[in-house]
Structure 1
Amino acid sequence: MKIGVLAVQGAFIEHERMLERLGAQTVELRKKSDITENVLDGLVLPGGESTVQGKLLRELDMFDSIKALIEKGTPVLATCAGMILLARHISGDSSVHLGTLPVTVKRNAYGRQLGSFVTKGDFKGLGEFEMTFIRAPYVEKSESDEVELLSEVAGKTVAVRYKNQIALAFHPEVGEDTRIHELFLKMIK
């Protein structure tokens, strides 16, 4: 199983390490040929800075290839900035990146870096899960009945699933709990 991990900016190495611990092979996606020359079974869009990642996807000519993979059904795990990249709308911002996830997200919803925090919350099908939020977004509004709520924290939606896409406002890759990455790999099998 080969997972493409967007590696232009952000927390991609932590995802790679966790996926490799679970037996998956990872490929860093840094240019278009990394996508076109590999048969990818899944994609990871990591946390980082969504504006920078979106800009680099276009500048490196990766945008259309990644969007096409998602639209054809390739499973994708998106965390934090990755959630913003997938969102159809960003609250208070007219820009849209991939737009494959029918939700509106609120960027930096918990404030700046100092507003970062760790908490525990219920995750559908997994039970209690430790969640690390770093300049995190949340889903402000779902735009489809097909968007499945996976987790809420303090009344805010922080994890959703839509068809082949799992989007999280938090960073499961920075902890030791592999259950979300296992769930992602099960989507591929």
Structure 2
Amino acid sequence: MSMKKMHESASQRQGELTHFDQAGQAHMVDVGAKNETHRIAVASGTIRMKPETLAIIQSGTAKKGDVLGIARIAAIMAAKRTSDLIPLCHPLALTRVAVDFSIDASASSVTCTAQVETYGKTGVEMEALTAVQVGLLTVYDMCKAVDRGMVMMDVRVMEKHGGKSGDWVA
């Protein structure tokens, strides 16, 4: 296939999957012709647990240490390594990764929210989603000795800004 045809087949068409060429082969999307813009993505997800587990997290008495502090660092590290984990993701120079955890005592849950930013040619939704999922996995890892029944749920992109498609809010 010629380079021109490869570029044409890699261009995004509304409603089509972009990581496959016309022959159905997986490829990394060509973003070379795209404009660099400020890109922002926000994702969130929740982990539900026993009230006793949540109490341990809140009191800071988990055997492995500060659960949410360590989960925050893990989430930030994960955002930075997304292209190493997801085969067709572009490696990006992130300009900001902010991770927050909120506790809902009535639902016995912790919600992780990640905001990821870059100035580039492709979005950061995958980095935000990866940060959230690894943050929740870290909470699970640190608390599994007392609660193996924790459930991670509702991991999703909440909003994205920048790029040709503009803004999107869930």
TM-score, normalising length from structure 1?
0.27
Task: Determine which structure has greater relative contact order: mean sequence separation of CA pairs < 8 Å that are 6+ residues apart, divided by chain length.
Answer: 2
Higher strand share: 1
Give the TM-score normalised by structure 2.
0.29
